[in-house]
């Protein structure tokens, strides 16, 4: 089994041109010892308990029977191969035969350290330079981060996307403790010696099925342990003498999560703030400078699956939950004053409109997308009234994104394996294109963060493939958005870039008919809620 559960882009200009190789020195050993002691103590306790239990259950009769059987097998071997007299000939004939296998020792040539062995070459400067060039990331490259689970092994893959060459390849990967559920890029160096408050870096926060949040430096290759851990797992690093870890409690508290971390949101204005939401029904606000929870919120009554910071009002956090409500909370205000909206089923994802921050989008388990005005919160949840409501898919809208560069450009991805592009106008949304990109059930859809890659769309899902779709090469997309952006690159051929690069020219003949059908269907795919 292989699937990709979450993806994220890294803007250009943040990745180090030449990422450094991981160095295991004394300081790193001490840091890892503290981080790993927690897991080591747990493993020892589990092993001792298991051994004790097995010892009690083991019956003496079974043990005696096993020993008798082993003895019988040894006796049979002695008789069959005459092992009792194995050394007799050697004692009579001397060591000559014994050393026969080393008879060519005199013909071996010994090369001293200062001599060159034609069969052994130590790595030299040329190899170091070649490896350095292989790790190089250009200023025109983007990174794409993908959380993967494969055969019960979880890791984060760091891809390099070369836009000009239409090339996507894995640069390095990071081992994770559990299935990744949320991936969020950070520009603040966390847990890095010598980093000041104004320092810039390229880090990633990862939420998994475990309650702890791990933070990794993307500019270091082959790291063994994260730079920092947010949660109970970091408690043993707060003092010089790590304390023995307490048994994990499932009871929600104000200090750390106790269940899976479902969503992460970095505050781009207050760079030291990271919001997280969890299956423990809480939202937590982390101070990355102290690596501790600054505030915990419990205004939802079920799993909180998605959080997003307001693009302008820097203290307002949007959250969606399986309790079928959305809350736009000012982190400084009492929980009782927080405006709420209700929807028809479990919330999947929430997003602010980056082009008009008075509005936000919500996707649900029943395939519906809602577009709400934050200024018109209802007093009664049952009377929540969106600006418009779109039945985007027949199954859950597991992921969607709003293009940060092109106004009104919306993408939705669903467990029905379809990716759909929408043109959102003042009158409502209309579908532009619908495609099955071969990633299986779609779990993640993300537009490129920079103007140069504004039309690029990263898509991933249950088949374990990451695809980058250059949507500007689609005729219907160019027709819908040509007036909103500079002339898009395109020769009429659709480009879909993955690990195994594929060109969708084979769809070009039927593409025009598909696009016409998409446009016709899209006009009927939404219903206005204004009247």
Where residue 348 sits, what CATH number does that domain have?
2.130.10.10
C-alpha to C-alpha distance for 393 and 397, rounded to whole angstroms: 7
pLDDT at 76 over 90: no
Taking the CA atoms of 38, 40, 43 and 45 in sequence, report the sign of the dihedral they define. Answer: negative
Tens digit of each residue's pLDDT (9 = 90 or more) over 482-493: 888 755 555 556
pLDDT band at 398 (very low <50, low <70, confident <90, very high): very high
The answer as to whether 340 is a domain residue is yes
pLDDT at 521 over 50: no
pLDDT of residue 64: 67
pLDDT band at 427 (very low <50, low <70, confident <90, very high): confident
To the nearest whole percent, how much of the chain has pLDDT over 70?
Answer: 67
Q: Model-level pTM greater than 0.85?
A: no
The answer as to whether 360 is a domain residue is yes
Quickly list DSSP for 82-114: TGGGTTHHHHHH-STTTTGGGTTGGG-----TT
Average pLDDT, integer, range 204-229? 94
Which two three-digit tokens encode residue 530? Answer: 């204004």
Environment class of 193 (CB within 10 Å of its CB; exposed 0-12, middle 13-18, buried 19+): exposed
The phi, psi pair for 62, rounded to 5°, reads -65, -40
To the nearest whole percent, how much of the chain has pLDDT over 90?
Answer: 57
The phi, psi pair for 48, rounded to 5°, reads -65, -40
Q: How many helices (H) and strands (E) does the chain have?
A: 6, 32
The answer as to whether 137 is a domain residue is no
The phi, psi pair for 73, rounded to 5°, reads -65, -40
pLDDT band at 344 (very low <50, low <70, confident <90, very high): very high
Question: What residues does 421 pair with on adjacent strands?
Answer: 411, 433
pLDDT of residue 499: 57
User: b/e for 103-118, b at 16 or more Cβ within 10 A?
Assistant: eeeeeeeeeeeeeeee
Instruction: Answer with the residue of higher pLDDT: 246 or 279.
Output: 279
Host domain of residue 329: 2-12+142-528
pLDDT at 320 over 80: yes
pLDDT of residue 287: 96
Average pLDDT, integer, range 112-123? 53
pLDDT at 228 over 50: yes
**Residue 470 CA from chain centroid, whole number:** 22
The answer as to whether 452 is a domain residue is yes
Average pLDDT, integer, range 307-327? 97
pLDDT band at 242 (very low <50, low <70, confident <90, very high): very low
Average pLDDT, integer, range 454-462? 96
Q: Count the domains in the chain.
A: 1
pLDDT at 359 over 70: yes
pLDDT of residue 35: 61
pLDDT of residue 79: 62
The answer as to whether 100 is a domain residue is no
Most confidently modeled range among 129-143, 146-160, 245-259: 146-160
pLDDT band at 525 (very low <50, low <70, confident <90, very high): very low
Average pLDDT, integer, range 474-502? 71
pLDDT of residue 382: 85
pLDDT of residue 82: 59
pLDDT of residue 290: 93
Tens digit of each residue's pLDDT (9 = 90 or more) over 363-395: 999 999 999 999 999 988 888 999 999 999 999
SS3 26: helix
Average pLDDT, integer, range 419-445? 95
pLDDT at 530 over 60: no
**Average per-residue pLDDT for the chain:** 81
Taking the CA atoms of 19, 21, 25 and 30 in sequence, report the sign of the dihedral they define. Answer: positive
The answer as to whether 62 is a domain residue is no
The answer as to whether 300 is a domain residue is yes
pLDDT band at 241 (very low <50, low <70, confident <90, very high): very low
pLDDT of residue 223: 87
CB–CB of 295/330 below 8 Å? no
| Window from 12-21, 156-165, 255-264, 402-411 with minimum mean pLDDT | 12-21
Tens digit of each residue's pLDDT (9 = 90 or more) over 321-337: 999 999 999 998 877 77
Which two three-digit tokens encode residue 218? Answer: 């993307």
pLDDT at 307 over 90: yes
pLDDT of residue 513: 46
The answer as to whether 334 is a domain residue is yes
């Amino acid at each position: 089994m292989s699937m990709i559960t979450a993806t994220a882009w890294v803007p250009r200009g943040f990745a180090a041109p030449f990422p450094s190789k991981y160095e295991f020195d004394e300081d790193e050993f001490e840091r890892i010892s503290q981080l790993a002691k927690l897991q080591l103590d747990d493993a020892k306790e589990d092993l001792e308990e298991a051994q004790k239990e097995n010892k009690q259950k083991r019956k003496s009769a079974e043990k005696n029977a096993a020993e008798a059987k082993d003895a019988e097998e040894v006796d049979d071997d002695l008789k069959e191969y005459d092992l009792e007299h194995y050394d007799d000939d050697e004692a009579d004939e001397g060591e000559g035969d014994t050393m026969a296998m080393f008879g060519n020792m005199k013909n071996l040539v010994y090369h001293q350290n200062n001599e060159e062995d034609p069969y052994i070459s130590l790595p030299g400067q040329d190899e170091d330079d070649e490896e350095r060039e292989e790790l190089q990331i250009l200023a025109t490259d983007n990174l794409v981060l993908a959380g993967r689970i494969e055969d019960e092994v979880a890791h984060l893959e760091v891809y390099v996307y070369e836009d000009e060459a239409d090339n996507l390849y894995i640069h390095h990967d990071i081992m994770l403790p559990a299935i990744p559920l949320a991936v969020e890029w950070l520009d603040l160096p966390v847990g890095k010696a010598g980093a000041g408050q104004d320092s810039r870096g390229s880090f990633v926060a990862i939420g998994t099925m475990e309650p702890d949040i791990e933070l990794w430096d993307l500019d270091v290759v082959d790291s063994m342990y994260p730079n920092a851990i947010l949660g109970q797992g970091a408690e043993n690093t707060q003092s010089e003498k790590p304390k023995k870890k307490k048994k994990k409690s499932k009871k929600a508290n104000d200090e750390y999560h106790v269940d899976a971390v479902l969503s992460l949101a970095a505050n781009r204005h207050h760079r030291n703030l990271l919001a997280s939401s969890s299956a423990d029904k809480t939202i937590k606000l982390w101070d990355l400078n102290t690596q501790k929870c600054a505030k915990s919120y419990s205004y939802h009554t079920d799993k909180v699956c998605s959080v997003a910071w307001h693009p302008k009002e820097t203290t307002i956090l949007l959250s969606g939950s399986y309790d079928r409500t959305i809350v736009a909370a000012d982190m400084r205000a009492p929980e009782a004053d927080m405006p709420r909206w209700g929807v028809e089923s479990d919330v999947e994802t929430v997003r602010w409109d980056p082009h008009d921050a008075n509005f936000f989008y919500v996707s649900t388990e029943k395939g519906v997308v809602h577009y709400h005005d934050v200024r018109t919160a209802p007093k009664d949840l049952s009377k929540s009234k969106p600006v418009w409501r779109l039945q985007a898919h027949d199954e859950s809208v597991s992921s969607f994104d709003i293009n940060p560069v092109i106004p009104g450009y919306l993408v939705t991805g669903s467990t029905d394996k379809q990716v759909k592009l929408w043109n959102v106008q003042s009158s409502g949304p209309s579908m532009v294109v619908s495609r099955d990109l071969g990633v299986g059930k779609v779990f993640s859809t993300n537009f490129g963060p920079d103007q140069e890659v504004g039309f690029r769309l990263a898509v991933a899902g249950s088949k374990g493939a990451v695809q980058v779709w250059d949507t500007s090469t689609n005729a219907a997309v160019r027709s819908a958005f040509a007036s909103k952006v500079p002339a898009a690159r395109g020769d009429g051929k659709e480009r879909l870039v993955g690990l195994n690069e594929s060109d969708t020219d084979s769809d070009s003949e039927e593409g025009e008919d598909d696009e016409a059908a998409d446009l016709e269907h899209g006009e009927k795919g939404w219903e206005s809620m204004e009247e």
